Amino acid sequence: MTSTLEASRQTASWMTDDVAAVADLARDFFTRYVCPQAESAAREGRPDRELYRQAGEMGLMCMSIPEEYGGGGGTFAHEAAFLTEQTLAGDTSLHLGVHAVIVPHYILAYGTEAQKKRYLPKLASGEWISAIAMTEPGAGSDLQAMTSRAVPTDDGFSLSGTKCFISNGLNADVVIVAAKTDPNARGAGISLFIVDVTERSAGSDPVGFSRGAALRKIGQKGQDTAELFFEDFPVPADAVLGSLNGGFAQLKTQLATERVILGVAAVASMERAVELTVEYTKQRNVFNAPLFAMQNTRFELAECATIAHVSRVFIDQCISALVDGHLDVTTAAMAKYWLADQQCAVIDRCLQLFGGYGYSLEYPIAQMYADARIQKIYAGANEVMKELIARTL
């Protein structure tokens, strides 16, 4: 029997027949190919990069990028279905929101025709893996405080600086890097560069560029997160993405999509947590009766299911607005902060109903608890989201 939460996913206004077909294909990809490699990804601190290529061969990469650049010619709805199935399957190792949606749309929106033709097809095929480097040790949510510098040279720029917490940092072949090109300005002095680090020699990175070890994290241990170091790294003049000193405005515009992506994962995670907990409490006997028979259990799950359903309605509205080109940055900030908060709260309440088993990594709810916590932090801390919202009141 289809659960209420599953039915709400299937009847979303953006869930057309072709989007549903993507969901089916994505479900098969994650359950058959990705999730069986979870333990090895966690040990290595990164996923097998061949999984990106495999997803590309299945047509699951860059689905909202035009076909002329190797993409699927679809909309963000196709990406949302893909990312939802990733969360429902329990995978957190492939950072596909960054690789398949965020970075490609920076290039599509601001890139030259030459940049689009060079990078987008290889990202869509999974041959190259992408990352975006904004955060620095002294500049997290306050991007205007970044200290990375791109100094003009005779044939381009010399890039120096340290970037931290970079998703896909170890596997990345292409990195969009934010750096100051006018050190006397704050946001008005930031530019974006497409930095190509594919030219490796004998397995090492190009001169002037290096990567730190995989970061040891509370959760998402199979997801590739690392520091990136640039020291007088040569960047050609045609690597500038968009207009010089226009990077901060570009970042503000594109971050709205990133925040909806996090909202998509948050809602699917809540739904998965409730569904797993309902199944467990109906099977687990306590005092000679199923745990689900206890009123407190039923009431807790009723509340969590309601929160998940309300969250589904909200994120569906955001997805539709993004597809139609009407999503505003304030609503995106609301989605990011509120849905991340609810994700952490719902998973915590569900874990409690597992009792001691909820603290064991043999049960998925424990890993979900650890994985969820970062949602309140990245793509702009929730406190920053509230400040952005408050400015519009």
Q: Which of 136, 258, 275, 300 is catalytic?
A: 258
- pLDDT number for residue 2: 61
Q: Which of 175-179, 182-186, 226-230, 312-316 has the lowest mean pLDDT?
A: 182-186
pLDDT tens digits, 58-95: 999 999 999 999 999 999 999 999 999 999 999 999 99
Mean pLDDT, to the nearest integer, of 101-107? 98
> Quick one: pLDDT at residue 201?
43
SS3 category, 234: strand
> Among the listed ranges 42-51, 124-133, 194-203, 229-238, which one has the minimum average pLDDT value?
194-203
If you average pLDDT over residues 143-170, what whole number do you get? Answer: 95
Lowest mean pLDDT among 111-120, 131-140, 266-275: 131-140
Tell me the average pLDDT of the chain.
95
pLDDT exceeds 80 at position 141 = no
DSSP string, 297-361: HHHHHHHHHHHHHHHHHHHHHHHHHHHHT---HHHHHHHHHHHHHHHHHHHHHHHHHTGGGGGST
Q: Is the dihedral of CA 380, 336, 257, 391 positive or negative?
A: negative
User: In the CATH scheme, what is the code of domain 131-244?
Assistant: 2.40.110.10
More confident position, 202 or 387:
387
Residue 202 confidence (pLDDT) above 50:
no
Residue range 4-128 forms a domain whose CATH class is mainly alpha
Spatial neighbors of 341 by CB under 8 A, at least 6 apart, are 376, 382
Q: How high is the pLDDT of residue 125? A: 98
**Amino acid identity, position 289:** A
pLDDT band at 200 (very low <50, low <70, confident <90, very high): low
Is residue 300 part of the annotated active site? The answer reads no
Give the pLDDT of residue 204. 72
pTM comes to 0.95
Average pLDDT on 378-387 reads: 95
In this structure, what is the dihedral angle of CA atoms 119, 125, 129, 133, given to the nearest 10 degrees?
A: 50
Alpha-carbon span 345 to 278, nearest angstrom:
16
Domain ranges of the chain: 4-128, 131-244, 248-390
Average pLDDT over residues 307-321: 97
Closest by CA position to 122, among listed 78, 76, 61, 79: 61
Lowest mean per-residue pLDDT among 1-5, 43-47, 282-286: 1-5
- Tell me the average pLDDT across 100-116: 98
The per-residue pLDDT for 142 is 82
pLDDT of residue 108: 98
pLDDT confidence bin for 275, thresholds 50/70/90: very high
Task: Please state, for a pLDDT cut of 90, what percent of the chain lies above it.
Answer: 91
Q: Which phi-psi region, left, alpha or beta, contains residue 379 (left: φ > 0; alpha: ψ -120 to 50)?
A: left
Superfamily for domain range 248-390: Butyryl-CoA Dehydrogenase, subunit A, domain 3 (1.20.140.10)
Of 343, 282, 337, nearest to 307 (Cα)? 343
How would residue 203 be classed by pLDDT, with cut points 50, 70 and 90?
Answer: low
| Under 8 Å between Cβ of 40 and 48 | yes
Q: What percent of the chain has pLDDT over 70?
A: 98
CA dihedral of 308, 12, 371, 333, whole degrees rounded to 10: -90
290-305 confidence digits (pLDDT tens): 999 999 999 999 999 9
Q: Which of helix, strand or coil describes residue 193?
A: strand
Decide if pLDDT at 130 tops 90. yes
C-alpha closest to that of 98 among 86, 113, 90, 115: 86
